[in-house]
């Protein structure tokens, strides 16, 4: 089942912060975050594992709340290069072969 | 290390035709997943191959099929193309250790247009 991302779109000024949320109705083993720029392939940002700690990548970090089956991506002091569509991919605990299911994406626009 | 490569990059076909797309994973990666991306539906999982075996399949009709070779290269085939099959087809490779889905690295995609 597809995870739900919110908000669908956000517009920021350079230097502002943003939070993107991803939630699932199923028990998750991991959450993967990707960024895709227009016309390009998605690029991996980070993985959060069940029982793992908050991860960080430059000024982008994320957390995983196992009780709520939710993950949040935090972008601090946003830069123009952060613009793109952010996808969360969730890995569900079900059976022996797990697959990633992606959310519909959050379009982030950073203005100068 | 070379990234994931996909061929061809662009393709134009007509309804009813069939098409085969190719994906070469990162060296050492044995798992290849295929996704269809459209503006309306986002990233939709098609199937995953690991060690030449289909491990997972998404909710797509039987016209969509794939295979993986012993060198981990994978092909995806769509038969009897429909207009709605126009999309960006992405392949992603990963290691997949102990049944877990590791980081997926995406190729540049094949953009298919069905007329």
Tell me: the pLDDT tens digits for B77-109?
999 999 999 999 999 998 866 555 567 899 999
For tokens 């539906």, the residue is B41
- Nearest CA to CA, how far is A40 from chain B (Å)? 6
pLDDT, residue A54, reads 62
Best to test chain B binding among A8, A42, A88 (most B CBs inside 10 Å): A42
pLDDT, residue A52, reads 64
Q: What is the mean pLDDT of residues A36-45?
A: 90
- Of residues A44, A97, A105, nearest to B104 (C-beta): A44
Pick from A42-56, A75-89, B17-31: least confident: A42-56
Helix (H, G, I), strand (E, B) or coil at B67: strand
Buried/exposed code over A71-99 (b: 16+ C-beta within 10 A; e: otherwise): bbbebeebeeebbbbbbbbbbbeeeebbb
pLDDT grade, residue B46 (50/70/90)?
A: very high
pLDDT, residue B10, reads 96
pLDDT, residue B99, reads 54
pLDDT grade, residue A50 (50/70/90)?
A: confident
Of residues A26 and B89, more confidence is placed in B89
pLDDT grade, residue A14 (50/70/90)?
A: very high
Instruction: Say whether A100 and B100 touch across the interface (CB within 8 A).
Output: no
- Of residues A41, A47, A96, nearest to B90 (C-beta): A41
pLDDT, residue A2, reads 87
Q: How far is CA A76 from CA A17, A63, A79, A111, in A?
A: 4, 14, 9, 14
Q: CA of A47: which chain B residue's CA is closest?
A: B103
Report percent pLDDT > 90 for chain B.
76
Average model confidence (pLDDT) across chain B: 91
From chain B, the residues in CB contact with A40 under 8 A are 108
CB pairs under 8 A between A and B: 58
Best to test chain A binding among B37, B43, B87 (most A CBs inside 10 Å): B43
> What H or E segment, with its residue span, contains residue B114?
strand B110-114
Of residues A66 and A87, more confidence is placed in A87
Pick from A93-102, B38-47, B53-62: least confident: A93-102
From chain B, the residues in CB contact with A47 under 8 A are 103
């Amino acid at each position: 089942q597809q995870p739900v991302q919110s908000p669908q779109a956000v517009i920021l000024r350079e230097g502002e912060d943003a939070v993107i949320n991803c939630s699932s109705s199923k028990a998750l083993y991991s959450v993967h975050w990707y960024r895709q720029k227009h016309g390009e392939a998605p690029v991996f940002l980070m993985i959060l594992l069940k029982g793992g700690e908050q991860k960080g990548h430059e000024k982008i970090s994320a957390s995983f709340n196992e009780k709520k089956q939710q993950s949040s991506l935090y972008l601090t002091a946003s830069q123009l290069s952060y613009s793109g569509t952010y996808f969360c991919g969730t890995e569900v605990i079900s059976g022996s072969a797990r697959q990633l299911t992606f959310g519909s994406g959050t379009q982030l626009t950073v203005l100068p | 290390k070379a990234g994931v490569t996909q061929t061809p990059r662009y393709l134009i076909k007509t309804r009813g035709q069939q098409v085969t797309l190719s994906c070469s994973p990162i060296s050492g990666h044995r798992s290849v997943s295929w996704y269809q991306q459209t503006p309306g539906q986002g990233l939709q999982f098609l199937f995953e191959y690991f060690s030449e075996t289909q491990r997972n399949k998404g909710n797509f009709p039987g016209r969509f099929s794939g295979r993986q070779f012993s060198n981990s290269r994978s092909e995806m085939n769509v038969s009897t193309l429909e207009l709605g099959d126009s999309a960006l087809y992405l392949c992603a490779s990963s290691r997949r250790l102990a049944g877990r889905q590791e980081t997926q690295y995406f190729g540049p995609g094949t953009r298919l247009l069905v007329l």
